[in-house]
Amino acid sequence: MTRFDMIVVGGGPAGLTAGLYAARAGRSVLLLEEAGFGGQIVTAPRVENYPGIPRLSGSEFAQQLVEQVLELGVEVELERASAIAQEPGAFRLSAGERAFTARSVILATGMKHRALGLPGEEALTGHGVSYCAVCDGAFFKGRRVAVIGGGDTALQDALFLAARCDRVFLIHRRDSLRGEARLHRELRRRENVEFLLSHIPEEFTEMDGQLRGLVLRNLKTGQRHNLPVEGAFLAVGQQPQNAAFAPPVALDNQGFVAAGESCATNVPGIFAAGDCRCKTVRQLTTAVGDGAAAAVAACHYLNCLET
């Protein structure tokens, strides 16, 4: 069995950047990715907020980063890591029917945004349906958009969009919002924000592959009506993908890895990078920053073992 200096779990921007930095430091690296490289950024038709690159598509960004990592000799296996165990001086990761060992591990498993589960949702993602107002809000300047959800994220998204969009509809299934009262009050002061409480979206309407509206149902009256919008921002929860690694890795009460800016977990030799760890900002720039920080920390850990 080949033993690596480092195993990176996850092939999104954080994991790929971690592999890049570790390989440049002369470390042997295995990257385990369950499905495809790039993570959620590959669904973005345009990326315009990455410093130094005016614009490119998410898939182009991911492809270039993958090519860069492979050229440095990072080994790749398309397998889902399903468990981690500590051994003397190493960690064993189970993936499919095989197992891999390394002296350090970086978890960059990302997260999945909770979907509504409506027909056409996946096809319209990146074509009017979004899970990140900060990432995509600028594309909807002067347009009508909807935010779906009632927690802090939904309220913050609605405030962010209200400063840019012609009209923002905040849609929530309950008759009251769960988010912070201060955010609620601030939204109430915005003339271009309309609250549609006790409503749920039941259908997306589209034309030529672009979102054109939502069919809503009033939960109190049962009536359905079409709401014309060009953007729908879904803020109905996030699903971290860390359960397979706890224990030994400590998670918070939402399932995110309990690791701070150092990216170190409670287990010496295991680090966490990107959206899978506890943090307040989840952007492409913060993901690659985490990947670099985690790889540098892991290399320092290995250096200490060798001295």
Our answer to whether residue 263 is catalytic in this structure is no
Q: Closest Cα partner for 39 from 57, 58, 53?
A: 58
Q: Do domains 3-112+238-306 and 115-234 have the same CATH topology?
A: yes
Report the pLDDT averaged over residues 208-220.
96
Tell me if 87 sits within 8 A of 101, measured CB to CB: yes
pLDDT of residue 156: 85
Our answer to whether residue 276 is catalytic in this structure is no
Domain ranges in the chain are: 3-112+238-306, 115-234
pLDDT of residue 48: 79
Residue 281 has pLDDT above 90, yes or no: no
% of the chain at pLDDT higher than 90: 70
Residue 283 has pLDDT above 90, yes or no: no
Report the pLDDT averaged over residues 188-193.
95
Report the pLDDT averaged over residues 12-39.
93
Task: Please report which confidence band the pLDDT of residue 228 belongs to, taking 50, 70 and 90 as the band edges.
Answer: very high
Give residue for tokens 């039941």. Answer: 202
DSSP, residue by residue, 231-284: EEEE-S-EEE--GGGTTTS-B-TTS-B---TT-B-SSTTEEE-GGGBS-S---H
Q: Which position among 5, 135, 276, 290 bears the catalytic label? A: 135
Top-level CATH class of 3-112+238-306?
Answer: alpha beta
pLDDT digits (tens, 9 = 90+) for 58-92: 888 889 999 999 999 999 999 999 999 999 989 99
Secondary structure (3-state) at 297: helix
Calpha distance 245→93 (Å, rounded)? 9
Report the pLDDT averaged over residues 25-54.
85
Residue 1 has pLDDT above 80, yes or no: no
Rounded to two decimals, the pTM is: 0.74
Our answer to whether residue 132 is catalytic in this structure is yes
Q: Which position among 136, 157, 275, 290 bears the catalytic label? A: 136
Calpha distance 184→159 (Å, rounded)? 9
Please state the CATH superfamily assignment of the domain spanning residues 115-234 in this structure.
FAD/NAD(P)-binding domain (3.50.50.60)
Calpha distance 76→70 (Å, rounded)? 8
Residue 4 has pLDDT above 90, yes or no: yes
pLDDT of residue 2: 72
Residue 195 has pLDDT above 90, yes or no: yes
In angstroms, the Cα distances linking 264 to 10, 107, 182, 215, 241 are 17, 10, 34, 45, 18
Q: Closest Cα partner for 216 from 233, 198, 231?
A: 198
Give 153 or 256, the one with higher predicted confidence.
256
